[in-house]
A and B are shown apart, each in its own frame.
Chain A
């Protein structure tokens, strides 16, 4: 059970306070309700590039990192298709430093040309390092484009292509900031060795005078139900073949999301999972195979990816996957197997909650979903899942007509 207090400033900034006196540290987590899904197709990768620019100096403070490091703190940030999250941890006595820094960059950035020029290059190198210069690195560009025809999940957070980042202009940066970076679009979580009254004072002092801005209302076209299976085959300079399959699944707040999550665990979550046991160990068609999803807020993708043992025929490998999916659709999963994945989930959640930083990030995430308290109901929602739910979801999701398949072949 994670306890917290919650209040809202008059400019719309939501503030959550989670006290843990067992640590000498404080965590300040600022989540902005903007991700790659808020970009337009002609200018992708912008939410992520912007995250880099948030460290390039704000209106009154030339450098974000230096004062934080001087106060004994460290920080990082990440951008997903759904959101952008900034977090720092520092000795609790120096909590105000984090308020000073975070509030100034919420107020306004310095918009330095130098910072934009450099970070464009840095992000291009990040793009190359992870998505070009790696075997199988380009697969998710293709898969997202195949699986989504309407929804902005069709591109990756890093962006569709290098040129979108290379061409970003300072004007675009300013517009993006005023549209998305304001108190009404943010959630502040303060956690660790802190007092709510103290956080209230600091929040008023540093964030209270920031204009609320115009609340951004997201208007995203949702992906229509897929009617026909989509397939593509690519040849690349890789040492062996791999197969990637995805199916559209429930959105984050749907009870079926939890069922799907447990289903991925049954199919491909580790050493005792069905796909691993049948296809890696028994039939030895795959060197490895996984089943997972991305935890997307809108309808995401249940994914199976596997790397074939050299010499195995792709069709035979895909049929073997299909055989396991047929079992999941046609036969009730037994109670013990369901209990197993529930036990695993309970354990994972306990380990995740060990660190104050994770707890702060989770609280911000659930507040974005609508209520920080959802964090405490999460396991309950997994507990409700029954074996017949699993079978129903397997039938609904793991349909051929809902599927996208990439044969990634060695040339």
Chain B
């Protein structure tokens, strides 16, 4: 007779040996570094051109993100429509995203179409024109998007907490107002493009099933471009964290929920303590079985979901707790968040719960490393933070070996309510 009350035997995930498959690594003629993971089951590729062109380098708000957005909206020979039509015809996806330190142009397509698309990507890096009419449409549409977002409590809370942590003048804390869009000038975008893309610093990360002669192909289209000639000047930005810790903002008098953000600074991802904090974070609020979720969603029903995160910035990091809760239970939710901090400070996590967290982390890591796009993503993160494989191995080892006592010590050091910013936006 089958005993359904008894769990089948499991192999503890912590027993798995986990390694990060090494990428192929080579340099183009102009010195651009290429990292490539050749693997996968589908005939698809992903290539990312990562430029040191994030908002860290802009001298005026929004220039970095506008230049990034408009980079594929026209060259001397092609209109935005012609570029989009061309990319779409080959079933490719040419996207761009702007972050703090970096700005990225990414391509996803079927392997068989890659050769058709690369000349266009080259053209964009050599000859983007940032047309005035495209800029006007961009400004108008971004202002409308902002107007809609400003109605949302989670949007207001998300940008406010960054501003509290880092200061509104810091690239991590800066946010945009309507006027900032109006103030963008075409010549500023062109200058930014010239300095940070065309003559900027580029690194290439690719993965998937790459065609034969991939290296020659990349060299042909990108190895002769004027990338990486100049040293990137080190820019530093002082932080001005807010002195006021508690904030209540009423954005929508009719709002039925409040967006809660609770955050404090913490050590950088490259700091040896960071992987330990990652384990603490998972236990606290980093997965569905976390303390925060178990208490505030699964016991009290105050929210659809609550999570804590560690920010992944290069120059500064923070622990952030984030949720949307019913308006009448916001206060109770905040109280419970602090209560869970207190539990972690006062009492060592039990053996079973710690093993569960460890197994969950290793098991999901095993799943996360499945497939070439995920593997190159890990490498990109390591390399952009100036880290290497040893950091990854240290992270895996930390998960496997960290003890309850050390997690309690970390909680005592990093989970004190009085050190957190507390923000509720209705």
Contacts and interface: CB of A to CB of B under 8 A. Distances in A.
B371 A355 contact: yes
A60 B11 CA distance: 22
A385 B362 CA distance: 46
A70 B287 CA distance: 13
B147 A69 contact: no
Given A72-B363, A280-B141, A120 B301 contact: yes
Contacts of A356: 370
Interface residues of A, number: 80
A103 B364 CA distance: 23
B91 A347 contact: yes
B4 A125 contact: no
Given A209-B2, A309-B144, A126 B304 contact: yes
A125 B42 contact: no
A239 B144 contact: yes
Contacts of B364: 72, 74
Contacts of A343: 88-91, 113
A270 interface: yes
B375 to A, nearest CB: 12
A170 interface: no
- Central interface residue in A65, A129, A238, A348, by most chain B CB within 10 Å: A129
Given A91-B363, A281-B81, A347-B109, A354 B373 contact: yes
A371 B356 CA distance: 38
B147 to A, nearest CB: 4
Interface stretch (A21-29, A175-183, A211-219): A21-29
Contacts of B150: 239
A356 B42 CA distance: 11
A255 interface: no
Given A69-B289, A121-B302, A135 B7 contact: no
- Central interface residue in A60, A239, A310, by most chain B CB within 10 Å: A239
- Central interface residue in B13, B150, B367, by most chain A CB within 10 Å: B367
Given A133-B257, A347-B108, 17 more contacts: A70-B10, A72-B364, A72-B366, A74-B360, A94-B8, A94-B10, A122-B297, A125-B325, A128-B256, A135-B148, A206-B2, A307-B144, A307-B148, A309-B144, A343-B91, A355-B370, A355-B371
The 4 A-B residue pairs with the shortest CB-CB distance in the complex, in nearest-first order:
A72-B363, A121-B301, A72-B13, A347-B91
28 contacts: A69-B287, A69-B289, A69-B363, A71-B10, A71-B363, A72-B12, A96-B8, A97-B7, A97-B10, A122-B303, A125-B304, A125-B324, A126-B304, A134-B152, A205-B2, A240-B148, A272-B84, A280-B141, A281-B80, A281-B81, A284-B140, A309-B141, A310-B144, A347-B110, A347-B113, A348-B91, A353-B42, A354-B373
